[in-house]
């Protein structure tokens, strides 16, 4: 899978806000706030394809988090981003 | 012939021959016109060269839309490092095009009609403002106790109705602008500024006041006011800035910077409301508690 390159990030009053540059439906109010971990994941996979296992590996290597928790968090992260059009399958 | 105007923190120098009559009869501009002797050296200045032929680019537009007030199709392009805006009358296909070099010069073909002219100048100035930490915002702005409340919402939401309710029910208020005031985020305290573009209400006040709050309006069968988070505030304000410019990465980034500066010191609320006096009083009492 890969990230949607149409989304651009801005630091807004200390928060990471994802904004679609050219929304197909013209709706500019669909913005998404990212926490620091989500932002780190986005930056890591911005220019490369990745799998669920890649995200789990990233979380367990970068953060002090057990494998089961990382697996659940990775699946949740991907699911939320897919639902909002920020992640596409191949 | 030169005509200078000041909009918020920038000045605009129109250099026109054939278009001069059209400019001089745009009555909304007159309140913002500077005397020829006025010192403008402390202001960033846009040189607006009129009556220069500008060709429509061959590239695909970044954004196109119908502008029903002037009965025309509008197209926004980025091409060769410049920004182009073209308006074409849908009936007789007369058109004007302007080119902004991204710095301090606009070239524009001859202004042919007042509705076209007003919107074309607005569009050109909007690009220059954003490059100087300011932006038009689609809002009705009411001033109370030396500060502005900017009421946001899509057309038909009731922005003007709500600010009229302030004027009738809250003492010591006045309307700053009813459609397209300017927000300026140059200093630590963001400002709301009047402009010559005020929709159908001829309210052209060349004044600047601090912004007290942004208020996104939503029609409801009750009155309820909620403070928004940073992300919600961004989502409330961002669509109210000139939408075409948000399609260009350069301007989208600057929009985010302007909103960010505003939100560091200014709250944003959602007001779910009826069109009644209680809504205006609730809004006032929330923003300016006694």
pLDDT tens per residue across span B146-163: 899 999 999 999 999 999
pLDDT confidence of residue B113? 80
pLDDT at B283 over 80: yes
Q: Structure pTM?
A: 0.94
| Statement: residue B86 has pLDDT above 90 | yes
In the three-class reduction of DSSP (H, G, I as helix; E, B as strand; rest coil), residue A79 is classed as helix
- Could you give the ipTM of this predicted complex? 0.88
**Structure-block tokens of residue A68:** 């089961």
Q: What is the pLDDT of residue B74?
A: 96
Sign of CA dihedral B217, B238, B177, B193: positive
Alpha carbons B62 and B77: distance in angstroms, whole number: 5
Q: What is the pLDDT of residue A90?
A: 72
Beta bridge partners of A49: none
- In the predicted model, residues of chain A with pLDDT beneath 50 are none
The pLDDT value recorded for residue B20 is: 84
- With DSSP H G I counted as helix, E B as strand and the rest as coil, what are the percentages for chain B, rounded to 5? 30, 35, 35
Using CA atoms of A41, A47, A53, A56 in order, give the dihedral in degrees to the nearest 10. Answer: -10
* Closest chain A CA to residue B63: A22
Q: Which residue has the higher pLDDT, B16 or B282?
A: B282
Contact B163, B153 (CB under 8 A): no
pLDDT higher than 90, residue B192: yes
Cross-strand pairs, B66: B73
- Contact assignment for A8 to B249 by CB distance below 8 Å: yes
Q: Answer whether B259 touches A (CB < 8 Å).
A: yes
Confidence of residue B35 (pLDDT cuts 50, 70, 90): confident
Q: Distance (Å, rounded) from C-alpha B38 to C-alpha B36?
A: 6
Nearest CA in chain A to B62: A22
Among the partner-chain residues A12, A32, A33, the one whose CB lies closest to the CB of B256 is A12
Token pair listed for B60: 């695909």
CA angle at B139 for the pair B265 and A32, rounded to the nearest 5°: 60
Write down the pLDDT at residue B105: 97
- The more confident residue out of B242 and A24 is B242
Query: To the nearest whole number, what is the mean pLDDT of chain B?
Result: 94
């Amino acid at each position: 899978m890969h990230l949607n390159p149409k989304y651009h990030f801005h630091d807004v009053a200390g928060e990471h806000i994802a904004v679609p540059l050219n929304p197909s439906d013209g709706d500019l109010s669909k913005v998404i706030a990212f926490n620091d971990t989500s932002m780190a994941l986005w930056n890591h996979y911005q220019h490369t394809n990745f799998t669920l296992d890649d995200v789990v590996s990233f979380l367990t290597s970068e953060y002090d988090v057990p494998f089961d928790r990382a697996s659940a968090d990775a699946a949740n992260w991907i699911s939320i981003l897919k639902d909002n059009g920020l992640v596409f399958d191949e | 012939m030169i005509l200078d105007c000041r909009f918020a923190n920038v000045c605009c120098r129109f250099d026109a021959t054939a278009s001069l009559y059209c400019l001089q009869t745009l009555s909304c501009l007159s309140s913002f016109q500077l005397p020829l002797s006025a010192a403008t050296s402390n202001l960033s200045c846009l040189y607006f060269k009129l009556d220069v032929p500008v060709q429509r680019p061959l590239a695909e537009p970044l954004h196109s839309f119908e502008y029903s007030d002037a009965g025309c199709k509008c197209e926004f392009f980025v091409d060769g490092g410049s920004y182009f805006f073209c308006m074409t009358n849908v009936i007789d296909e007369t058109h004007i095009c302007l080119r902004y070099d991204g710095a301090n010069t606009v070239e524009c073909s001859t202004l042919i009609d007042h509705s076209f002219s007003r919107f074309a100048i607005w569009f050109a100035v909007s690009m220059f403002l954003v490059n100087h930490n300011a932006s038009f915002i689609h809002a009705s702005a009411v001033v109370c106790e030396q500060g502005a409340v900017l009421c946001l919402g899509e057309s038909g939401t009731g922005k003007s109705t709500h600010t009229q309710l302030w004027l009738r029910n809250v003492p010591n208020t006045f309307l700053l602008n009813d459609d397209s005031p300017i927000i300026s985020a140059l200093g630590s305290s963001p400002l709301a500024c009047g402009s010559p573009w005020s929709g159908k209400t001829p309210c052209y006040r060349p004044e600047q006041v601090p912004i007290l709050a942004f208020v996104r309006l939503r029609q409801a069968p009750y009155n309820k006011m909620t403070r928004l988070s940073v992300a919600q505030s961004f989502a409330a304000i961002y669509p109210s800035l000139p939408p075409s410019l948000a399609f260009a990465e350069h301007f989208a980034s600057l929009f985010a910077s302007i909103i960010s500066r505003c939100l560091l010191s200014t709250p944003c609320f959602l007001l779910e409301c009826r069109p009644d006096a209680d809504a205006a009083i609730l809004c006032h009492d929330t923003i300016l508690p006694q």
